[in-house]
Structure 1
Amino acid sequence: MSAAAKYLPSYTLEDYQRWEGDWELWNGIPISMSPSPFGKHQMVLVNLVSELRLALRSVNCDATALCEIDWIIADDTVVRPDALVVCGPPPNGHVRTTPAIVAEILSPATADRDRTHKKSLYQQAGVGIYLILDPEAESVEAFRLTAKEFENLDASIEWSFSLCDCCSITLDPTTFFKR
């Protein structure tokens, strides 16, 4: 740890809940959220969540697809993924359990964060599937957690994922970018 780092203030969930504006909290450090994303980003998000919901319903899976909801990982860490899937019904408040799937949609302001810090954070938190969607390149980076590490999945074929110890869903990544 650098000398400067030990003098940085550290914030908690209690502090976070009093802030105005859009923030995330990474290991006690406040991270300002980007302004609202543009249309193509939103189209990809709607497509992704729609495909997740359809896949879950088609196999009667007891899981819920959500978007833009805070996930409280720890007392000093709160993130707001673009989309996620939680086992069971939607939570009454923010998400407090580890999601089965987390997805981030890249924008120029967040691409580095999503590919590095958030990927590492989600891996450490035990997220089973992490998807990174790039609206401009119309591509997906997909990772499955195995033995505490993410392994790359082939993004050119349909995927089958086992979720929530109760079901298996299939997703076609090419559908995320269709108008």
Structure 2
Amino acid sequence: MNGGLSLSDKGTNKDKIRESGLTYDDYASIDDGNRYELAGGQLELMSPAPTLTHQMVSSEMYETIVQNCKKDYIILYAPVDVILSETEVRQPDIVLVHRERMQILSNRGIEGAPDLIIEILSPSTLKRDKIDKLKTYADYQVPEYWIVEPETGVLEQYIQIDERLELVNIFHGNEPVSSSNITCISFTMAEIMENIPDLKDRS
């Protein structure tokens, strides 16, 4: 890469890197202190560290899912590379891979579609998670995708149907979160959110 990467100043794509046509090897060779994803051969600079609320919701969900599903699934949290192709590398917040599919795990990361991908929303990633990644995960046959709004405790569940990820349920409060694909899932968003303090921004 020879230090040739520079932020694009075109349009509103401030998080896009000018170079395109890159592969996993290019992506893996970057060591500049930043975190990136590789989308269609183009690097996307990830936003600064998520809010503490985001991180606490992610941690609570991870620990809850581990308690119920560790026997059957490998459960990983960010940063971990999900290598969908040599030109498509994503870093979801939480991923599940069934232990019968451990052949897709390598020292590079997860090389193929996980059984479940979970993204915890941040204001800076809203469009990326709900539009760009939704389409990408559908294209690469991810069977199930959750989008979690950490401030309100709402979980949107998308299932692969006819080569598209369709919104099939929205979980909130005391409604039990369930999945026909991952039967060990057993919790409510109320249980997750009751352990999240109400944090205020300091001026």
Query: TM-score, structure 2 length as denominator?
Result: 0.75
Cα distance, 1:9–1:124 mapped onto 2, change above 3 Å: closer
The amino acid of 2:90's aligned partner reads: V
Corresponding position of 1:113:
128
Report which of the two structures shows the higher radius of gyration computed on alpha carbons. 2
Output the aligned Cα RMSD: 2.0
Between the aligned partners of 2:19 and 2:106, the Cα distance in structure 1 is: 34
Cα distance, 1:19–1:8 mapped onto 2, change above 3 Å: closer
For 2:37, which of 3, 6, 24 is the aligned residue? 24
**What are the ranges of 5 or more consecutive residues in structure 1 without an aligned counterpart?**
1-6
Identify the structure with bigger relative contact order (alpha carbons < 8 Å, sequence gap 6+).
1
Residues 155 and 170, structure 2, Cα contact 8 Å, conserved in 1: no
The amino acid of 1:109's aligned partner reads: S
Between the aligned partners of 1:40 and 1:81, the Cα distance in structure 2 is: 17
Corresponding position of 1:177:
193
Between the aligned partners of 1:79 and 1:127, the Cα distance in structure 2 is: 12
Corresponding position of 1:158:
176
Between the aligned partners of 2:159 and 2:113, the Cα distance in structure 1 is: 14
Q: Matched residues, percent identical?
A: 25
Query: TM-score, structure 1 length as denominator?
Result: 0.85
Residues 65 and 84, structure 1, Cα contact 8 Å, conserved in 2: yes
The amino acid of 1:99's aligned partner reads: P
Q: SS state of the match for residue 126, structure 1?
A: coil
* Alignment map for 1:43-62 (pairs within 5 Å): 43-57=56-70, 60-61=71-72
Between the aligned partners of 2:130 and 2:20, the Cα distance in structure 1 is: 26
Corresponding position of 1:42:
55
Corresponding position of 2:87:
76
Cα distance, 1:12–1:92 mapped onto 2, change above 3 Å: closer
Residues 93 and 118, structure 2, Cα contact 8 Å, conserved in 1: yes
